[in-house]
Amino acid sequence: MLRRWDEYLSGGAMARYIRFGNFVRRKSSLDRDVISYNALAPKVSRDADGRMIPYVHPKVDLRPTDIFRLLRPYAQVRFNDQLKAVVPLAVYLALFQLFILRKVVDDSWIITAGLFAVIVGLMCFMEGLKLGLMPFGETIGNILPRKSPLPMVLLVAFILGVGVTFAEPAIGALKAAGAIVSVEKAPYLYSLLNNWSDILVLVVGAGVGLAAVLGTLRFMYGWSLKPLIYTAMVPTIGLTLYAMTNPELEKVIGLAWDSGAVTTGPVTVPLVLSLGIGIAAAAGKAGSPLSGFGIVTLASIFPIIGVLLLAVVVAATTTPDEIIAAAKVAAQSAVAVETPWYERTPGVEVITGLRSIVPLILFLLLIMKVMLREQVKDAGIITYGIVLAVLGMIIFNLGLTYGLAKLGSQSGGLVPAAFLAIDAVEGSPLYVYALGIFIAVGFAWVLGFGATLAEPALNALGATVETLTQGVFKKSTLMYAVSTGVAFGLAIGLAKIIYDPPLVWLLIPGYTTAIILTYFSSEEFVNIAWDSAGVTTGPITVPLVLAMGLGFGSAVGAVDGFGILSMASICPILAVLITGLWVRYRASLEDVDEAEAEAEAPQVEVTLP
């Protein structure tokens, strides 16, 4: 109802109410302008023969203000997605450093500019991935099985798995970690990250490629994930135990297990997944609601095997003394000879960005044009997406160098000041030892919990899981289970660096427990739990946590800071598996209560005439 405005304004005591629909109808009938369609349509022009001349609309002349207003909603949504993930973590680290560690952030303006570059770079890269790269994966996945035999399909899946690894944003953080490792303390680890860095990424990519092949076969034939997990964990744990027998190889275990977490990022998962699901759909096998789960798990396990095998090869071909001597010679020559521009920032970031995306694009184009003989649809939009992906990767690499890596390394190097006497606090710890340890571990716990909740991929996974389980496994339940697992994983990883126990003492019991829980869990929860570890290691979390761990390890005198990401991978698996068993147990209790209620309900007999 709407009060009459003339009576309301006049203050009349006899005010009455009318329906709003009647008010609008009367208002529109009184204040209505009738415009002829001929006044809106362009005038018809004819040539000398009386034929109508087609109308050509004049070019729209947009002012810079108009262009800004048109593009602002498009860019703002994408910018805010990355802003929500980066800013809370950066603010948390800065405030923790300022109020708890009592140390201002060094190079704050450079770090701020770097973080802004991370946001802009990820925004451009993710949009370019969606518009420029994802259509290739979907098209190839749908058409390839119809035009090529299965061995060729699997070969393409393998090469694609290798290519997407080089395009993964966080892989640059893994390669950059080589500059922090001491060659005297860990020669094999130093050699892998410096002398064998390209081969290391290639081996990791081969592991992802093998995962893509097995994932594709699993999609096509409907294999259970449980036997694949059991089979893959046997050589993984076996190689880990073998590395324990060599004191120098033992220092590579953390890098190997962290490599599995680095690979499952925003490039690998969508592209390989779209290819596998497309192949399964073309083969008529994509009817299962669990289609798509499992490939992230395999892409996390097989790179571990590859890195451990590469470490064994390095140990068999070179000795630690030879690596140390070669590193000293290289350091002396580096002083004498100026480093070329493409090995210095910002040239190295530009070259890395181009090398990450361009070969992958050329491979996808080759498959489309030569093997499938298909035309690229919407070439303009795809070109726009490719340019955005390349530009975003370059900007992200610059932000990684000056923002995430710098902030993480600085924060990680200062956290030990809470319980140790380091130079940053003039030789005295800030707190008593027990309180300082609690603050350091609590810092890692809160960082892991907050960083995981901010991951966009976890929100998407939670919504998918709630839909597939018909609301039995709530989105919020999964998100809090995964976030809590990552929080405890980072806390345990930080404690591992402080007290320096062998990483195997944590990994073997953790994965043994996960395998036991897997045996007792249903297929749905196994798929969800083992894949949940992959979505937590995004392009923001990985560089930040990796740099923090290496900086922390350097400050406390540890050999390296690797192993934190591996603990952040196993703990979410355990958390989700335990939560899944609890959810299934509660669902069974509810079914029993419903059955008892139905049995106790009074029975009414109805006699039909």
> Cβ distance 252 to 259 under 8 Å?
no
d(CA 460, CA 455): 9
Answer yes or no: do 4 and 116 share one domain. no
Are 390 and 242 found together in one domain? yes
At residue 513, does pLDDT exceed 90? yes
CA 198 remoteness from chain centre: 22
Tell whether 247 and 351 lie within a shared domain.
yes
- 172 plus 305 within the same structural domain: yes
Q: For 528-540, give the DSSP string.
A: HHHHHHHHTS-TT
Residue 72 lies in a domain: no
Claim to verify: residue 431 and residue 576 sit in the same structural domain: yes
Residue 227, in any domain of the structure: yes
Return the bridge partners of 46, or none. 52
Instruction: Tell me the residue range of the domain where 11 lies.
Output: 1-25
| Ordered DSSP codes for 120-137 | HHHHHHHHHIIIIIHHHH
pLDDT, tens only, 342-371 = 667 778 888 878 887 888 888 888 888 888
Instruction: Specify if 601 maps to a domain.
Output: no
Which amino acid is located at 569 in the chain? S
Q: Structure tokens of 245? A: 């027998």
Report, as an integer, the average pLDDT of 375-388.
Answer: 86
User: Of 467, 605, 575, 564, nearest to 259 (Cα)?
Assistant: 564
Same structural domain, 440 and 582: yes
**Distances from the Cα of 282 to the Cαs of 232, 276, 287, in angstroms?**
27, 10, 11
Q: Which range among 124-138, 183-197, 591-605 shows the weakest confidence by mean pLDDT?
A: 591-605
Q: Within a domain: residue 69?
A: no
pLDDT at 88 over 60: yes
% of the chain with per-residue pLDDT over 90: 15
pLDDT in tens, 366-377: 888 888 888 877
For 472, counting Cβ atoms within 10 Å of its Cβ (0-12 exposed, 13-18 middle, 19+ buried), the class is middle
SS (H, E, C) 220-246: HHCCCHHHHHHHHHHHHHHHHHHHHCC
Domain count, the chain: 2
- Which pLDDT score, from 0 to 100, does residue 193 have? 87
- For the chain, report the end-to-end CA distance as a whole number of angstroms: 54
User: Cα–Cα distance between 92 and 404 in angstroms, integer?
Assistant: 13
Q: Which residues 6+ apart lie within 8 Å of 175 measured at CB?
A: 193, 197, 200, 201
Residue 265 lies in a domain: yes
DSSP state of 262: H
Is 575 found in the same domain as 455? Answer: yes
Instruction: Please tell me whether residues 157 and 20 are part of one structural domain.
Output: no
- Burial-class residue 223 by CB neighbours within 10 Å (0-12, 13-18, 19+): middle
Domain annotation covers residue 82: no
Q: CA–CA separation, 325 vs 191, rounded Å?
A: 12
With respect to residue 163, please indicate whether it lies within any of the assigned structural domains: yes
**Rounded Cα–Cα distance for residues 118 and 176 (Å):** 16
Residue 396 has pLDDT above 50, yes or no: yes
Is 70 exceeded by the pLDDT of residue 503? yes
Amino acid 602: pLDDT = 60
Estimate to the nearest angstrom the gap between the alpha carbon of 104 and the chain centroid: 30
**Same-domain pairing of 444 and 323:** yes
Over its C-alpha atoms, the chain yields an Rg (Å, rounded) of: 30
Distance in angstroms (rounded) separating the CA atoms of residues 237 and 532:
21
- Cα gap 549→105, rounded to integer Å: 18
Please count the residues of the chain: 609
Cα–Cα distance list, 210 to 205, 293, 356 (Å): 9, 16, 20
Is the same domain home to 389 and 252? yes
Where does the pLDDT of residue 18 fall: very low under 50, low under 70, confident under 90, or very high at 90 and above? low
Query: Average pLDDT of the chain?
Result: 80
pLDDT at 13: 47
Q: Is the pLDDT of residue 164 over 70?
A: yes
The residue whose two tokens read 């355990």 is: 574
Whether residue 552 is contained in a domain is answered as yes
**More confident site: 180 or 13:** 180
Positive/negative CA dihedral, 265, 269, 270, 271: positive
280 lies in the same domain as 163: yes
Domain match, 496 and 361 both? yes
